[in-house]
Structure 1
Amino acid sequence: MSRLLTKHCQPCEGSVQPFTREEAQTLLNQEIQEWCLNETATEINRAYKFKNYYETMAFVNGIAWIAHQEDHHPNLEISYCRCLVRYCTHAINGLSENDFICAARVDALLLPPQGIAVCKP
């Protein structure tokens, strides 16, 4: 489990410096490997694929709940069976720990519940 899941977003209305490319890349490598850093190191993103529209929208509703709970909101691009999630802390025009906390929480939406074995056919 990512250590980021034990944290919650903190307000940072310009009082926090954005992560450097190196800091962001370290967190990506250690905590949320499947996310990508954009060219300017100001955003992380990940595309998720689903079987159908219903699954896509259920996932999007989960993201909306996380955004409400953490008061940190992603940019979303939604289609029939795909959702692109992009995080950036707009108040600092770059990445903060809040972006990584929320990304870890979004990833956790797709994890099987703990204590239940998942069998592959």
Structure 2
Amino acid sequence: MKKLSNTEITNALKELPGWSHQEDHIEKSFKFMDFKEAFSIMTRIAFECEQQNHHPNWENVYNNLTIKLNTHDAGGVTEKDIRLAQTIESIVNK
């Protein structure tokens, strides 16, 4: 999969509020009511990640979840990361 240019990433992120481009990845932090809600969302995201065969770098502390996406094989952000970010948004915003 081809690594996206900075312009392509910037354009894609216009449709993904709150996501930012950092060096070689895109990322977003989410805040939930409590740990149970955060973990529940993480579980739903995990099933989708497995389906897409694409797995995030993430960190969960109590009700906070930070997700970082990149495609290691491409050395940066690809269309695969954008698709997963879109899926994550659909899960979180249900």
TM-score over 0.5 (shorter chain): yes
Which secondary structure state, in structure 2, belongs to the residue aligned with residue 22 of structure 1? helix
Specify which structure has the higher proportion of strand: 2
The root-mean-square deviation of aligned C-alpha atoms, in Å, is 1.0
- Corresponding position of 1:25: 10
Sequence identity percentage: 24
Runs of at least 4 residues of structure 1 off by over 6 A? Answer: none
- Whole-angstrom CA distance in 2 between matches of 1:17 and 1:76: 23
Which secondary structure state, in structure 2, belongs to the residue aligned with residue 17 of structure 1? coil
Report the number of matched residues.
94
Rg (Cα) greater in structure: 1
Unaligned runs of 5+ in 2: none
Deviations 1:84-114 (A, max 9, x none): 01100000111110000000100101223xx
Unaligned runs of 5+ in 1: 1-15, 113-121
Specify which structure has the higher proportion of helix: 2
Q: Could you state the TM-score of these two structures normalised by the residue count of structure 2?
A: 0.94
Q: Could you state the TM-score of these two structures normalised by the residue count of structure 1?
A: 0.74
